[in-house]
């Protein structure tokens, strides 16, 4: 909301992006620990003026989009695009027309857009009725004939190259689309549709960073430039006593017919070790600082919920969770196939790929409390980056 106007972003992610040469939509192509869509969502979610974000995607990809929007703290609308960009924008406008007075239309492939450029375009729309990001041409511009022969040199001092965001009052851009449909005008961008209606459209000075990811090489370059620069490692260790009459839960997985681990919570030493490793890597204290064992809220607590909270806290400090490597020290029971189940469960709790979780087991050769079967211990190492 700004000046009483309700504002929604419309992120276009329905294109095929064939020029990038991936087998899937380039909006979901991973680079430097993120994807173009995720990066857009994170930037737009930081813009306070926005009331929500609508993502226009292909219907068959709506589940992937839903996953990408997890954890984004804005109202989210997911809607289906059409065959052409123009149809996708129109569908998106229809999806937000009851929620918004102003639409911030943005091409998802321009995922390095900055918060201040989005804000500049919104301010321009409020003040002048529109705000379209773009740059004045800096190269020599030639008009060419069908054979590529130069016809004339254009005066670049009055030529702008148009990008997104393109911000308009929703009623204006919606009626521009409807008029275009009625008159059979296709394949033009939103600013051209507005001009066709006789509306003035205003250029907002763009930013060098607002590049579009189009070709495979663009992704390679983005990977190099946006690789996390801060990489940290954390370790955690925990041990709990084995007692009769408690259920054994390790790595969030239940084991039948075994003694259980004594503890204030459910005693899951594996999840506690991971929790400490995460807090340790981010220098955010330890499990006891965040979830004190004299606090009744955590009596019998499901350690999965504590680990989930820890992951949220770490991510809230802008960290990406890389991988987790765990060793469980125990004589009994044999972990065997349960190791796979533990990986799967831990990956669900942390919301990272199971391939990034490793679970190993070791005995203590009958030595010490673990070796005598009186306790189970676990150690975990994790990597985080940003």
What distance in Å separates the CA atoms of residue 57 and residue 79, rounded to the nearest whole number?
6
Does 51 participate in binding Mg ion (rule CB under 5 A)?
no
Does 272 participate in binding Mg ion (rule CB under 5 A)?
yes
Q: Interacting stretch for Mg ion, rule CB under 5 A, among 26-34, 90-98, 214-222, 234-242?
A: 234-242
Q: Interacting stretch for Mg ion, rule CB under 5 A, among 7-15, 179-187, 226-234, 268-276?
A: 268-276
Q: What is the 3-state secondary structure of 106-134?
A: EECCCCCCCHHHHHHHHHHHHHHCEEEEE
Among 61, 163, 172, 238, binds Mg ion (CB under 5 A): 238
Q: How far is the CB of 356 from Mg ion (least distance, A)?
A: 23
Q: How far is the CB of 345 from Mg ion (least distance, A)?
A: 17
Quick check: 133 and 165 in contact, CB under 8 A?
yes
For Mg ion, the closer CB: 105 or 375? 375
Does 39 participate in binding Mg ion (rule CB under 5 A)?
no
Quick check: 343 and 359 in contact, CB under 8 A?
yes
Does 376 participate in binding Mg ion (rule CB under 5 A)?
no
- φ/ψ of 211, rounded to 5, equals -80, 155
Does 277 participate in binding Mg ion (rule CB under 5 A)?
no
For Mg ion, the closer CB: 218 or 238? 238
SS3 249: strand
Does 58 participate in binding Mg ion (rule CB under 5 A)?
no
Does 177 participate in binding Mg ion (rule CB under 5 A)?
no
Q: Which residue is nearest to Mg ion (CB)?
A: 272
Q: How far is the CB of 240 from Mg ion (least distance, A)?
A: 6
What distance in Å separates the CA atoms of residue 171 and residue 130, rounded to the nearest whole number?
12
Does 276 participate in binding Mg ion (rule CB under 5 A)?
no
What angle, 0 to 180 degrees and rounded to 10, lies between the N-to-C axes of helices 170-183 and 85-96?
A: 140
Q: How far is the CB of 298 from Mg ion (least distance, A)?
A: 11
What distance in Å separates the CA atoms of residue 29 and residue 271, rounded to the nearest whole number?
31
Contacts of 216 (CB under 8 A, 6+ apart): 20, 21, 22
For Mg ion, the closer CB: 101 or 238? 238
Find the binding residues for Mg ion in span 93-132 (CB under 5 A). Answer: none
What is the binding site for Mg ion (CB under 5 A)?
238, 272
């Amino acid at each position: 909301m700004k000046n009483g106007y309700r504002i929604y972003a419309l992120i276009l992610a329905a294109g095929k992006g064939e020029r990038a040469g991936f087998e899937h939509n380039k909006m979901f192509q991973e680079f430097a620990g993120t994807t173009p869509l995720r990066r857009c969502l994170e930037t737009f979610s930081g813009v306070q003026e926005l009331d929500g974000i609508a993502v226009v995607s292909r219907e068959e990809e709506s589940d992937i989009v839903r996953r990408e929007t997890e954890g984004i703290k804005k109202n989210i609308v997911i809607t289906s695009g059409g065959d052409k960009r123009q149809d996708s924008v129109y569908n998106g406008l229809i999806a937000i027309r009851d929620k918004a007075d102003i639409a911030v239309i943005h091409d998802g492939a321009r995922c390095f857009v900055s918060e201040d450029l989005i804000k500049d375009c919104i301010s321009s729309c409020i003040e002048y009725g529109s705000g379209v990001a773009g740059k004045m041409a800096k190269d020599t511009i030639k008009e060419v004939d069908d054979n590529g022969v130069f016809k004339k040199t254009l005066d670049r001092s009055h030529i702008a190259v148009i990008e997104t965001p393109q911000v308009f009052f929703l009623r204006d851009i919606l009626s521009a689309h409807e008029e275009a449909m009625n008159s059979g005008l296709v394949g033009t961008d939103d600013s051209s549709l507005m001009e066709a209606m006789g509306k003035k459209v205003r250029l907002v000075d763009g930013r060098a960073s607002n590049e579009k990811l189009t070709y495979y090489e663009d992704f390679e370059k983005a990977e190099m430039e946006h690789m996390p620069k801060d990489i940290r490692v954390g370790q955690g260790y925990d041990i709990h006593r084995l007692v009769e009459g408690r259920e054994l839960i390790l790595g969030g997985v239940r084991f039948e017919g075994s003694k259980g681990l004594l503890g204030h919570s459910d005693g899951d030493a594996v999840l506690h070790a991971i929790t400490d490793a995460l807090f340790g890597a981010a220098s955010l204290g330890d499990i006891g600082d965040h979830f004190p064992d004299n606090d009744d809220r955590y009596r019998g607590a499901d350690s999965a919920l504590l680990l989930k909270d820890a992951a949220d806290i770490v991510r809230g400090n802008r960290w990406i969770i890389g991988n987790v490597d765990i060793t469980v020290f125990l004589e009994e029971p044999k972990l065997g196939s349960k190791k796979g189940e533990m990986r799967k469960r831990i990956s669900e709790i942390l919301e990272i790929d199971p391939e990034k979780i490793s679970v190993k087991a070791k005995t203590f050769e009958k030595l010490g409390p673990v070796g005598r079967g009186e306790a189970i211990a676990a150690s975990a190492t994790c990597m985080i980056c940003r």
